[in-house]
A and B are shown apart, each in its own frame.
Chain A
Amino acid sequence: MSTEAIPAEKPKRNYNALFGLTLLALLVLLWVILSVATSSFASANNISNLLRQGSMIAILAVGQTFVIITGGIDLSVGAVVGFATVIAAMLINAGIPVFLAILITLLVGVAIGLFHGFGIVKMGLPPFIITLATLTSLRGIGLLMTNGNSISINNDAFQVFSRNSFLGVPNLFWMVILVGIPAYVFLHHSRWGRYLFSVGSNAEASRLSGVNVQRTIYMAYTLSGLCAAFVGVLLASRIGIGNPTQAEGWELQAIASSVIGGTSLFGAVGSVHGPLLGAFILATINNGANLLNVNAFWQRIITGVLIIVIVYFDGLRRRGGK
């Protein structure tokens, strides 16, 4: 390329917002179709159920998105969820007050995130490798701790939480809002959010501009670990056991939600609302497919096709302006 101007491009619209809207339209469309096609979809019961199903992946996807925006990836989140259920279960069964048990579990998530940051920043390992290593070893540590058994949690109050609703909305979905709003403010309205984008775009230029690149990377993985541990607490509450093999493959669902939500795996492109919508689109498809009695094997295929289609159209739209 020479230094000459590529034709002055049309002012770049806010694609994030636009894309968010079309995703929302897609979600609503799916809901309308399923409401017409099945008698049970629109029932309050099913909607609550759907919100519960989507909530946990949605929270994971938010943390994952922070990491992907920096140009990294966090493969460990599913394993962290499983590991966190074990920690939470053990602590609660040991008689530690629930709030303290939750706090400690969250700190474990933070510690795992810090470890990822350490591996990337200090040891120079690629994010894919360090988080892949944690993915397998965390499951192993969890299995050692439990001897391969599930731990039943003996605390009804802890379990009731995830089944209850507040103002007619499932508590689990409130947790998405609890995470989503601060995450939105953090990513789009704070300088740390800006730094995530700048590091993902050009780490060297960011460093020379006075951005603490290492701290930014630590921060991204710590937040992802924190989100995953939080989801672990929610999952423990929902099913009432601690088991390190749970949440198998959730990391991939989180990544898929993020990507459907417009996050670029090359970094520097992403939002908070996109992954949230992405997670609920995936949840809707699974829910709808169940109601329509679609073979569970087909659901996986449909999900795969959908990822390709949505990301392809997103790419077309982004390139469209040029």
Chain B
Amino acid sequence: MTSTAQDLHPAPVLEPGRTILELQGLEKKYPGTHALKPVTLAFKAGEIHAIVGENGAGKSTLIKLLTGVMPRTSGEVIWEGKPAALATPHEAMALGINAVHQEVVLCRHLTVAANMFLGEENSRFGILQQRAMVKEAQKIIDDLGFDLPAHVVLGDLTIGQQQLIAAARATVRGTKFLIFDEPTAYLTRKEADQLFTLIRRLKSEGVTIIYISHRMEEVFELADRVSVLRDGTLVGTRNIAETNDAELVKLMINRSIEQIYHKEHFTPGAAIIETKSLSGKGFENVSMAVRAGEIVGLYGLIGAGRSEFVTTVYGRHRKSAGQILWEGKDVQINSEHDAIRLGMALAPESRRDQGLCLNLPVGFNLNLPIYKRISNNLLISGVQEKTQADRQIADLRIKTPTRNALASSLSGGNQQKIVIGKWLAHGAKLFIFDEPTVGVDVGTKAEIYRLFSALLSKGAGIILISSYLPEVYELADTLHVFRRGKLVATHGFRTADHEEILTQALAEKQEKLGGQI
């Protein structure tokens, strides 16, 4: 450890193992919702404490209370032996409580260094000491082992790299208690490893970490203890050594793990789409087919060409060579519009940027692809608009007060159901799901997978893109592995093991995979 890091993290006043933060009957009620039922829990100094639970289980509420974003309804928070009000974010930060959020909340147009020191700029006589700040920031970044420049504009980095910067930023302010909220949702494996190194290092310096994640393997990799929330109730805290996957999942959802990957096999029908030696920006010479009733999984690292391949098929980008056959006929797909007209549907990777009109109602979002069908030449049928939306909400079990609630007011899992569900009424034949379960909890995942089966049973075909191997492994009838823009291997349902697939996806060692996208 270098001296800089020492300066940045003043030695903790508490020796490891003592209680640093204690919740006594902490409770939060909103009008109509009991978001967090009285929680009593003690965090030990220098531990990594994972918190898991489904969407809506109360994790975010807990974070908001701890970081002073919202006031609690009742209960006590004891910080280092003294009651703390935690009424404002400022107070929480002054105590040394910080959070790194799933979505990066930094200024994309400023440089990395400017972001690192935002609000605590180094200036002399009112003039910013830019060079000194860049140097200082670079030192911190290097010191943390991130291979990133401090002088570039933040927006030029990948989301994953921005996340690392956000984490680095949170560590330089006398932080004693750091909350990570789903930090790896958008990270590549390499970036995630860097983040884990950072987290372990903070722990060794006595910082207490709360780690929130949907990914069980990360919880087991990192955490010392794990607490499970379900419906706003703390249902258990375990030492990581004394528990396992199955137990945690059971606690979270009251359901066993085999029930999550719900896989039904259908006899594949005729090919819906076929590509022959298709090439385009970011991929080349890909030949594959999707038949009615099957799930074709595309696995590979981010930047391996999977997303580029499907967006080209979907008409977003022009192909440079090769052929696309739709139901046996050669077709030209020049726009998304063409693709949709043929009968394709794409649920994109980023629901906030690409999937939803957040400030419009749920019903509106669900009906968006079918407005043409539920209107005559001039007018929309108000009755159909209502019944279609209500039926989708019921079928998909979307948790929303009414179809008129704004999409932004729903939880991530329910938003994802809208992104997927809006295509059901449309009656597409080929569904493309790009990372459909990122940032979605186990329960919603299971529902989404069940939806897949429902689609297949109606004769649809599915292309499933995922960076999460168990997902494609357990669901795909045909699994294609992508590496550096090429289709390098093809497997049947569970015909290869994880190791083999991983090796094929990685092959030439991990070069700078994180920086590509």
Contacts and interface: CB of A to CB of B under 8 A. Distances in A.
Contacts of B402: 11-12
A5 interface: yes
A206 interface: yes
Interface string B22-66: 000000001111010000000000000000000111111101000
A4 B61 contact: yes
Nearest to A6: B409
30 contacts: A1-B60, A1-B103, A2-B63, A2-B101, A2-B412, A3-B182, A4-B55, A5-B35, A5-B56, A5-B60, A5-B410, A7-B30, A8-B401, A9-B405, A11-B402, A11-B404, A11-B405, A191-B371, A191-B375, A191-B380, A197-B357, A197-B364, A198-B364, A198-B368, A205-B356, A208-B336, A209-B340, A210-B340, A210-B369, A268-B357
B188 to A, nearest CB: 20
Most buried by B among A4, A185, A201, A208: A4
Given A194-B368, A212-B337, A202 B357 contact: yes
A173 interface: no
Interface in B415-431: 415, 422
Contacts of A209: 340, 368-369, 422
A204 interface: yes
A12 B405 contact: yes
A4 B59 contact: yes
A269 B361 CA distance: 11
A2 B379 contact: no
Interface in A182-240: 185, 189-191, 194-195, 197-198, 201-202, 204-212
A10 interface: yes
Contacts of A201: 357-360
Interface stretch (B8-16, B143-151, B246-254, B347-355): B347-355
B355 A7 contact: no
B181 interface: yes
A69 to B, nearest CB: 11
Interface string A1-32: 11111111111101000000000000000000
Given A2-B212, A191-B375, A204 B353 contact: yes
Given A8-B409, A197-B360, A209-B369, 18 more contacts: A2-B212, A3-B411, A3-B415, A4-B57, A4-B59, A7-B30, A8-B401, A12-B406, A189-B382, A198-B360, A201-B359, A202-B353, A205-B348, A206-B357, A207-B336, A209-B368, A268-B357, A269-B359
Contacts of B401: 8-11
B199 interface: no
Given A201-B360, A210-B340, A194 B371 contact: yes
Nearest to A269: B359
A189 to B, nearest CB: 5
B102 interface: yes
A319 to B, nearest CB: 13
B182 A2 contact: yes
Contacts of A2: 59-60, 63, 101-102, 181-182, 212, 412, 439
B413 A189 contact: no
A210 B337 contact: yes
B238 to A, nearest CB: 21
B399 interface: yes
Contacts of B102: 1-3
